[in-house]
Structure 1
């Protein structure tokens, strides 16, 4: 599958496609999923936002049998426009078991450069089974707190706002393991008040036409919302759910081994 909006620069997209093909050819891997992350996929890009392509890859089975398997990350040259790198599926699955929601966000990105829907659905099904919601809440809480510690700006505030709305979404959807990736969907699918919705729309619209969103103060209604959501998440029970870790790891192994066994890499 492919879902690349017309708003993306075609020349940049072509270079990303070339890099992904180059990774497969030079690293002898299969890339079943490659998406856009960062502000473009989060729903609040600026005119000068760079491109943050992230991908998951799988190596042939023999690679995983070696005592010296090497790194589980592949990176391509970083510059002002391109930030293209990916994780080995083994790394992604281990992180899922630990409660890291980043692989789920990648699998749910609204911008897909290349993707096998079957692969996506299988890994998301695993995430639904093994993700610990308490750990997911902590992930978004810590993400927001880390961003709050950096130099304040309206741009930085959006990086705090998205995880804050994700926390509200999780509170509204008790049956779900992890929230959507992009801010507009999070807002639309959660119980945020109407004045918060309006303020989010206004700030996102401003960022879309401003190359450097200034250091001014964010709308007070959004600051109050963020503070309330982070405070609520801080006071919630942080204990992980009672999980059978042996069964969880067995299920993760099952998914991983099935994906690796199906890999065919061109010589």
Structure 2
């Protein structure tokens, strides 16, 4: 993380708060840097949650619930309204939980993050989280023709990370929130020794190569990923066990909407 770029992102976030009249309780780094496999030329994927003033939040005519700053080769900065983030959390989208667990923070209200993580522990359904990760894997598998031919290191890891998250869910029954960082995931799942060695070598090459560097996927690794992908097909149609947690999410939303932007 380049200190000058980090400082620039923080400045941009402060300017955005003032310009858009919003409050940002959480702004973190997502993407390959937070997942633990950046390239030397990786851009900065800043993601944030925001809250608008109450008269704009509690309205019959809401404005767009996403804010996107102009994309550059270095900066990719965008965020979700708190309501959108919570609805996606409840529907099984793991992205918001990953944001909450990112170790790279630009700006964080720690009380908000702690409360949001506590809420996630209570309302996230592991079936839906697993379904989310499975469909990430499936989309990349089909896009890359099931790892045939030359594949970018980045795209290989875009399969391996959610696939490892599925392994983690399978090996940790009763839990729904997998680690965000790939190295942490790797430590907490049962990779065969040879596969683990191949993964380590892939991560080392990714750290030295350009963001779009390509290669033929190692046969040991590709066979393992294909086999795991096929074994996780049951996640594809997983459904929610119960809809009984909506009241908790509403309470959280009302409280923090008022707490973060009361005027």
Cα distance in 1 for partners of 2:225, 2:164 equals 8
2:87 matched to 1:99?
no
CA offset at residue 252 of structure 1?
0.6
Cα distance in 2 for partners of 1:143, 1:34 equals 24
**Partner residue, 1:38:** 31
Matching residue within 131, 136, 151 for 1:138: 131
2:78 matched to 1:85?
yes
Checking the alignment, whether the CA contact within 8 Å between 2:135 and 2:236 is kept in structure 1 is: no
Checking the alignment, whether the CA contact within 8 Å between 1:144 and 1:164 is kept in structure 2 is: yes
**Alpha-carbon spacing, 1:12–1:28, altered in 2? closer, same or farther (3 Å):** same
Checking the alignment, whether the CA contact within 8 Å between 1:135 and 1:240 is kept in structure 2 is: yes
2:117 matched to 1:118?
no
Cα distance in 2 for partners of 1:58, 1:28 equals 9
CA offset at residue 69 of structure 1?
1.5
**Partner residue, 1:4:** none
**Partner residue, 1:62:** 55
- Aligned positions, number: 257
Cα distance in 1 for partners of 2:197, 2:34 equals 20
Checking the alignment, whether the CA contact within 8 Å between 1:207 and 1:213 is kept in structure 2 is: no
2:170 matched to 1:171?
yes
**Runs of 4+ residues deviating >4 angstroms:** none
TM-score normalised over the length of structure 2: 0.92
**Partner residue, 2:147:** none
Greater shift, 211-220 or 30-39, is seen at 211-220
**Partner residue, 1:160:** 159
Give ranges in structure 2 of 5+ residues lacking alignment. 145-150
**Partner residue, 1:109:** 102
Checking the alignment, whether the CA contact within 8 Å between 2:125 and 2:241 is kept in structure 1 is: no
Give ranges in structure 1 of 5+ residues lacking alignment. 1-7
**Alpha-carbon spacing, 1:237–1:24, altered in 2? closer, same or farther (3 Å):** closer
